[in-house]
Chain A
């Protein structure tokens, strides 16, 4: 990847990106984009480019916080490993950034987050790191790399705007979008007051027998079990899992399907990340689904998608600036409106009638500890849910 062929290669790609990302007529947008791309170092993008056009967008206040325009331009090549299933949205944001900054070229590699974390560790152990930035869907894989010693300390400009419980205690990774554990429930079957404020209740109350859904093979669920194991101990967690099994909890492929099952009435309630219920709401006409949140237990975990800079990178300045961009008002608005994620900065609100992150009662837990996944998998296999 020589310096010379970089810009020329990007030109062709950006034509496509410009067309697909903005949805404008392909040919015109491509031409205009590339013409300006050659002369200007920055293309103008409006807030609506980042905000998108979902059903929860109208009437939102303008986001407040550092704007991308306050930051230096992104320029140069950056190798970004993107871990996790919702990575498509992240790719979308990166495409917008490349559109905004014609001199910015992101080389992306997507794969399941744990696998990428281990790849980074392996490459680093061989003295041959290939990633500059690891952007992962959950804190556990970020913690895996950090605990192996291959994540650098982030500059304070990156970490300062983010609440301390949503970043690594040693400043090696920082959350960019929050994902709360939630209880999606079918409003025809339950009212909000029926939903207990502890997950424990689901495992032993008669009314939840044969009515719950879960996706135990899904990564976020495993992180939730890890949190429970760290907070309540192995034995209690085992009992909870066994209790849910005995309740006849129905298994779904992942938590999107759990939430959809709740909306269709296949189950009455379930365990899922909060944003899936919003995705279901966005896709259907007034589906009978709403969200409840437990309090101060593993069921109330707020996990994050976050970034870290890989030790040994030659581009740590660009990597840091990239991370700063993810925490700007525009990017946070992007995560909030397109991924229905919890914003990390105070000036941006979550969509719809989601409680704000201050109104949630997440447990006291260092998210880096979630990287200790293996005992969780053993436990889940032992009970027979995996």
Chain B
């Protein structure tokens, strides 16, 4: 903290020039630009007359969509907590065997993009599913239930997002002050009772934070409900996006639900978790599982099988089964991979260019406008990709026909969605810059610009690189905005998967899906190396 204040003061002193204002204005302009899709939605929605709005939204179908969405969010969040919290406790607070292995294996489902998980469950399960057939061939006659509708959507989203709760709960358990537990024990509480009376309230904010991520993911996910045929906001938006007024109204509703979820989470959030972080509890404070050890191992293994083994196995099954006969016209081409690569690089570069002034300015100047500008760029975290896509289709086709259906607009959609990752990354590394170094450079006669280039930039470079990497990797697997905004004749790995999935040429999806899972695994490594619980 001391460093940060020192830096802030130093930078502020230094920046007392006209450059500050220019930089602030630039940041504000960037924020305004990435906020423009949301602004359009609000404007467009406000042009819908009240009577028509009621008519559109109060219809049985739209009410059903709202109910479906809320139901899905509730079930997935609840199930993720039920799954994630005990698993976090088991792997961090008990004497469960293979704790390290399970910790990694239980976190890994995050590397499977949910639409690929949905693809695996939708095509693998059921009477005629690929997995059912393979098991039957192997002499194991089990009838795997069909995965469709609400059940399928909820199962898949839970399996591939509960690690958010798992990780955030583990994090808050790790930062828990172990001495408190000991104090409770001295007050004659049993170990279990002490755990629930002392530990649990302390980790609740952590659980809530993970739950928030899961809830927002479940609400904004497009691919899974679309594959499962379950009508939620995102699916209806995608089907009706050409009706701009309806799309705007639905988006407003979706954003409103998002806001409520965020508000609920911040109500749970308490002050900072206090005290000393005790790393892992030592043997004395570990809960003894006793006879529960066996069942606990079974549960952990089942979760790993369901969330990790099943999708990979189903994809490999499709890979082996793909005879290529029915997929004529859908031949896979590495050109799609190249296209994915190029737009992702463009998105990463553009995001960093946008993030640099915003992050730098937010550290050097804490005026209201600067703070607003920084917050504004975080909009991508809360606004679902389908909403960004729909808004840009409308904006582009109405006001910027030269951009509509072109790569720059697609890249801009990625920037809106993933700029927060870049800003967060760059900002945290800018904060680590020791202001005295910059001052030293200035006393040595360097201009502010030269000082920035020679001292600050090399120091923030790691943040820039990891920010760019994150944007690159999340762009690679982005689905809804890519579907809506890709130019004619331009297919990426993701749109190709979507195309063959829609046309039931499942085998064709195996290669690109496995490639994407691999790429996501790399993005997980980047996240872990950054040491945060950042979300993508």
- Contact indicator A89/B328 (Cβ below 8 Å): yes
CB contacts (< 8 Å) of A107 on chain B: these are: 487-489
Does B502 lie within 8 Å of A112, measured CB to CB? Answer: yes
B196 on the A face (CB < 8 A)? no
Measured in the bound complex, the distance between the Cα atoms of B336 and A16 in whole Å is 12
Given A93-B329, A108-B489, A86 contacting B405 (CB threshold 8 A): no
Query: Is A91 touching B329 in the complex (CB atoms < 8 A)?
Result: yes
Establish whether residues B504 and A254, one from each chain, have CB atoms under 8 Å apart when the complex forms: yes
- How would residues 235 to 262 of chain B score, 1 for a CB under 8 Å from any chain A CB and 0 otherwise? 0001101111000000000000000000
Q: Which B residues are CB-close (under 8 A) to A92? A: 328-330
Which size bracket describes the interface of A in this complex?
A: 35 or more
Q: Assuming A130-B405, A254-B504, is B242 touching A115 (CB within 8 A)?
A: yes
Does the CB pair A16–B61 fall under 8 Å? no
A112 CA to B503 CA, complexed, in Å: 10
Contacts of A81 in B (CB 8 A): 488
How many Å lie between the Cα of A13 and that of B243 in the bound state?
A: 35
CB neighbours of A122 from chain B (8 A):
242, 244, 397
Q: Enumerate chain B residues within 8 angstroms of A119, measured Cβ to Cβ.
A: 242
Inter-subunit contact B503/A86 (CB<8 Å):
yes
Which residues of chain A from 59 to 98 have a CB within 8 Å of any chain B CB? 79-81, 85-95
Contacts A13-B335, A86-B503, A88-B500 given; does A52 touch B488 at CB 8 Å: no
By a CB distance below 8 angstroms, the chain A residues around B328 are 21, 52, 88-89, 92, 338
Residues of A within 8 A of B505 (CB): 88
- A222 to nearest B CB, angstroms? 13
| Alpha-carbon separation in the docked complex, A270 to B229 (Å) | 21
Q: Which residue of B lies closest to A251 (CB)?
A: B148
Q: How far is the CB of A80 from chain B (nearest CB, A)?
A: 8
| Pairwise interchain contact A118-B242, C-beta atoms closer than 8 A | yes
A91-B329, A92-B329, A266-B127 given; A217·B504 CB < 8 A: no
CB proximity of B25 to chain A, nearest CB, Å: 32
CB distance from B69 to the nearest CB of A (A): 18
Q: Which of A16, A91, A254 contacts B330 (CB 8 A)?
A: A91
Across the interface, which residues of A come within 8 angstroms of B500, CB to CB? 88
Across the interface, name the chain A residue whose C-beta is closest to B500.
Answer: A88
Q: Tell me the residues in window 327-379 of chain A with beta carbons closer than 8 Å to chain B beta carbons.
A: 338
Q: Is A38 interfacial (CB 8 A cutoff)?
A: no
Shortest Cβ gap from A374 to chain B (Å): 11
| A residues 98-136 in Cβ contact with B at 8 Å | 106-112, 115, 118-119, 121-123, 126-128, 130-131
Measured CA separation A53–B327 after assembly (Å) = 14
Per-position 1/0 for B201-230, Cβ under 8 A of A: 000000000000000000000000000010
Closest to A93 in B: B329
Contact of A85 among B128, B397, B503 (CB under 8 A): B503
A8 interface residue per 8 A CB criterion = no
With A and B bound together, what is the CA distance between A122 and B335 in angstroms?
30
With both beta carbons as reference points, the residue of chain A lying nearest to B401 in the complex is identified as A128
A257 within 8 A of B: yes
**Cβ–Cβ < 8 Å partners of B397 in chain A:** 122-123, 126, 128
Residue numbers in B under 8 Å from A338 (CB-CB)? 328
List of B residues within 8 angstroms of A110 by Cβ = 499
User: How far, in whole Å, are A351 and B204 apart by their CA atoms in the complex?
Assistant: 66
**Which residue of the partner chain A has the closest CB to B126?**
A253
Let me know if A260 is at the binding interface, CB within 8 A.
Answer: yes
Task: Compute how far the CA of A20 lies from the CA of B504 in the bound complex, rounded to whole angstroms.
Answer: 19
Residue of B nearest to A110 (CB): B499
* Inter-subunit contact B503/A128 (CB<8 Å): no
CB distance from B503 to the nearest CB of A (A): 5
Is A106 a contact of B489 with CB atoms below 8 Å? yes
**Contact A16/B329 with A119-B242, A217-B229, A381-B61 known, Cβ cut-off 8 Å:** no
Q: Can you add 7 more A-B contacts, CB < 8 Å, to A92-B330, A118-B243?
A: A85-B502, A85-B503, A87-B329, A87-B503, A108-B488, A217-B229, A257-B128
A residues whose Cβ falls under 8 Å from a Cβ of B: 12-13, 16-17, 20-21, 52, 79-81, 85-95, 106-112, 115, 118-119, 121-123, 126-128, 130-131, 217, 253-254, 256-257, 260-261, 264, 266, 279, 283, 338, 381
Would you mind naming 30 contact pairs between A and B with Cβ atoms under 8 Å apart?
A: A16-B331, A17-B331, A79-B488, A79-B489, A87-B329, A88-B327, A88-B330, A88-B505, A89-B329, A95-B331, A106-B489, A107-B488, A109-B486, A110-B499, A112-B239, A115-B239, A115-B241, A115-B242, A118-B242, A121-B242, A122-B242, A126-B398, A128-B401, A128-B404, A130-B405, A217-B229, A261-B128, A266-B127, A283-B326, A338-B328
Which 4 residue pairs spanning A and B have beta carbons closest together? A92-B329, A107-B489, A20-B331, A91-B329
